[in-house]
Amino acid sequence: MNLFKIISELEKVDPEIMDRLTHRRSALTALGDISKKMALAAAPIAIGSAFNKAMGQNNLSTVPAVLNYALLLERLEYSFYDQALKAPTLTVPLTGAARTAIETIRAHEQAHVTLLTTALGSQADPAPNFDFGTTAFATYDSFLTFAQAFEDTGVRAYKGQAVTIKTAGNPNNVLQTALQIHSVEARHAAHIRYMRRGVTAGNQTTIMPWIVNAEANGAPAPVYGAGNPSATFPAEDNLAQGGITDLTTALGATYTAADVSAAFDEGLDSTTVTTIARSVVKF
Amino acid sequence: MSDSAFSFLGRTLRRRSFLRVAGATAASSALVLAGCSDDDDEVVAPTTPANTLIFANGTSGVLNYLYLLEQLQAAFYQKAVDAFPSDFTAEDKAAFIDLRDHEVIHRETLKYTLGVLSSAYDANLTTPLAFKFESFTLSTRTGAYTAARTLKEISVAAYNGAPKLLVVDNATGSHVTYLKLLTKMASVEARHAAFVRDQLQPNSFAAPDAVGAAGLDTVKTPVEVVALIAPYVPVTLDASFLPTT
């Protein structure tokens, strides 16, 4: 999603995009210095400018298509929370602090959508309708289960593209901005998971803010499963990190599989992410 | 170690000579040095004041920087777990034990990684750094979570800023290995941050002081981070030699 997806998709269309971006140092500097040197409101323009400059001599007609694809995924998340906040079935349970939290998360998704739509300008696609089916908003817990799935998938999606960005010409400013979104997704995921422990959601106190083993907590199992290739994108219960085959026993002490798995989140490839999204949303 | 004293040596020899001197000093006066440079074009510290931990330019310096941050956090949660605040609930205790375990695993994984590189800053220290948590109030739930929030927000910002500093090494692809490792821990740090914030103040998991209006999380440079953790570390930290872009 977002910048990771944009880069990934741009590469499919234009394999040399990273070279272009890397050579356009001024454009990339604009991306990387968003937080320090530019007003936040100008960030989307800076990003759009960077891409347009990079693709200046190429087939511009492909750029909006790629950016719109990333926008689609962000809009999915925004739409999910927006529909939830307006769903009559959730009026009673989604109140007080819970409603405030979902409004906060929706605002962040909206900010990401704004980032992309502003970059696209008049070429932004109209927002499609997202059909989350009959169960997503049927109950408070069903809504939170879907939310957990979307947020945890979002974290995995961003992480899954980090290496691609770093290795394809080392556009570090893009990497940093993308990671700043990545950690926001993780904050959302942690909070949604914590909400599921509450009384209104049925006191599911086995659910932690972090992912224990590959426990899906009622979400689709593929959200926590292996991607493709599985060696690059292992399932969330992976115990091999940093060249260590089995962290539970390899470092001179014994750690539980639950702790080791929870201490690391895993990335996921874009094809698997898309398949997961299509399995629960019609658009 | 003036420039003229060893200017006839090649860069590699210069560095080896420097590290040998630094290592010998470390054994006698608690002087520590974090790793050597990965990049032959970069300089190492011209002088090494006593009781100063200098993070050397290059990937090993970046990894040592995060290793120290994980050591600090693991030590913090261990201290809290050793003597829980009297008003901690069973849920608080379980959560802090989880946090301690995650940080210990992060710390040990980075230590292993640095061990492979033979560049863990504390490889030759007889006693580990004794971190200072006196400025925190660890006797109360509010104090413990306030301290945890402070350290977690530093950690999230550090992990957002560090991956881009990894030096690309296309010959070995080592930067890919390290990047994957760091981003896998980064999102867990963010989950921790959201959790401890919520415990202190409900719904503050991504409050405006952490996530700005553009939907972007905090990011800090190593120099900014070491200034923030300086009160808790018993040696002077110098991150000025780390990569900045």
Q: Using a CB-CB distance cutoff of 8 angstroms, which residues of chain B are in contact with residue A208?
A: 98
Q: Which residues contact B10 (CB under 8 A, 6 or more apart)?
A: none
Task: Give the number of domains in chain A.
Answer: 1
pLDDT of residue A273: 86
Hey, is B33 helix, strand or coil?
Answer: strand
Is the Cβ–Cβ distance between B33 and B23 less than 8 Å? yes
Measured between alpha carbons, how far is residue A115 from residues A24, A111, B108 in Å? 20, 6, 38
CA distance A9 to A14: 8
**Domain extent for A23:** 2-280
Per-residue pLDDT of A173-224, as tens digits, reads 667 877 998 999 999 999 999 999 999 999 999 999 999 999 999 999 999 9
pLDDT of residue A217: 97
Indicate the burial class of B163 (C-beta count within 10 angstroms; 0-12, 13-18, 19 or more): buried
As given in the structure block, the two tokens for residue A282 are: 């019609």
Rounded to the nearest 5°, which phi and psi values hold at B52? -120, 130
Q: B209 to chain A nearest CA, in Å?
A: 12
User: How many CB atoms neighbour CB B28 within 10 A?
Assistant: 8
Q: How many CA atoms lie within 13 A of B170 on its CB side?
A: 5
Query: Which pLDDT band holds residue A123 (cuts at 50, 70, 90)?
Result: confident
Optimal mutation site among A29, A77, A180, interface B, most CBs of chain B within 10 A: A180
Is the Cβ–Cβ distance between A1 and A158 less than 8 Å? yes
pLDDT of residue B40: 37
| Largest CA-CA distance found in chain A, in angstroms, rounded | 59
As given in the structure block, the two tokens for residue B33 are: 């040095």
Is the Cβ–Cβ distance between A257 and A149 less than 8 Å? no
Closest CA to A154 of A111, A185, A195: A185
Contact B205 A115 (CB under 8 A): no
CA distance A5 to A165: 10
As given in the structure block, the two tokens for residue A181 are: 């979104």
CA distance A123 to A51: 14
Query: Which pLDDT band holds residue A19 (cuts at 50, 70, 90)?
Result: very low
Mean pLDDT, residues A26-48: 35
Mean pLDDT by 10 residues, chain B (245 residues): 29 31 28 40 48 92 97 98 98 97 98 94 91 97 98 98 91 92 98 98 96 94 97 96 90
CA distance A165 to A162: 5
Per-residue pLDDT of A241-281, as tens digits, reads 999 999 999 988 999 999 999 999 999 988 898 899 889 99
CA distance B190 to A210: 10
Residue A282 pairs in a beta bridge with A131
Q: Using a CB-CB distance cutoff of 8 angstroms, which residues of chain B are in contact with residue A209?
A: 191-192, 194-195
Q: Using a CB-CB distance cutoff of 8 angstroms, which residues of chain B are in contact with residue A170?
A: 168
pLDDT of residue A125: 85
Residue with tokens 């900045």: B244
| Chain mean pLDDT for chain A | 78
pLDDT of residue A254: 95
Q: At what angle do helices B90-116 and B59-82 cross, to 10 degrees?
A: 150
Report chain A's C-alpha Rg in angstroms: 19
User: What are the extents of the domains in chain B?
Assistant: 3-238
Report chain B's C-alpha Rg in angstroms: 19
A34 residue type, one letter: I
Residue with tokens 């260590």: A244
Mean pLDDT, residues A125-140: 93
Contact A181 B192 (CB under 8 A): no
Q: A267 to chain B nearest CA, in Å?
A: 8
As given in the structure block, the two tokens for residue A231 are: 């060696």
Q: How many CA atoms lie within 13 A of B147 on its CB side?
A: 24
Is the Cβ–Cβ distance between B175 and B243 less than 8 Å? no
Question: What is the chain B residue with the closest CA to A163?
Answer: B176
Q: B180 to chain A nearest CA, in Å?
A: 7
Own/partner long-range contacts of A249-254 (Cβ < 8 Å, ≥24 apart): A250/B112, A251/B108, A251/B109, A251/B111, A251/B112, A252/B108, A253/B108
Contact A184 B98 (CB under 8 A): no
Optimal mutation site among A104, A184, A200, A224, interface B, most CBs of chain B within 10 A: A184
Contact A179 B205 (CB under 8 A): no
Residue B52 pairs in a beta bridge with B236
Question: What is the chain A residue with the closest CA to B244?
Answer: A172
Contact A259 B177 (CB under 8 A): no
The three-state DSSP-derived secondary structure of chain A is: CHHHHHHHHHHHHCCCHHHHHHHCHHHHHHHHCHHHHCCHHHHHHHHHHHHHHHCCCCCCCHHHHHHHHHHHHHHHHHHHHHHHHHCHHHCCCCCHHHHHHHHHHHHHHHHHHHHHHHHHHHHCCCCCCCECCCCCCCCHHHHHHHHHHHHHHHHHHHHHHHHHHHHCCCCHHHHHHHHHHHHHHHHHHHHHHHHCCCCCCCCCCCCCCCCCCCCCCCCCHHHHCCCCCCCCCCCCCCCCECCECCCCCCCCCCCCHHHHHHCCCCCCCHHHHHHHHHHHCEC
- Nearest CB among B203, B211, B216 relative to A100 is that of B203
Optimal mutation site among B89, B93, B205, interface A, most CBs of chain A within 10 A: B205
CA distance A222 to A236: 10
Q: Does domain B3-238 have CATH number 1.20.1260.10?
A: yes
Closest CA to A239 of A273, A214, A209: A214
Hey, is B160 helix, strand or coil?
Answer: helix
Closest CA to A141 of A185, A184, A98: A98
CA distance B159 to B222: 10
Is the preceding omega at residue A222 within 30 degrees of 0, hence cis? no
Contact A159 B187 (CB under 8 A): yes
Question: What is the chain B residue with the closest CA to A74?
Answer: B215
Per-residue pLDDT of A45-92, as tens digits, reads 344 334 333 332 222 233 454 456 567 778 899 999 999 999 999 999
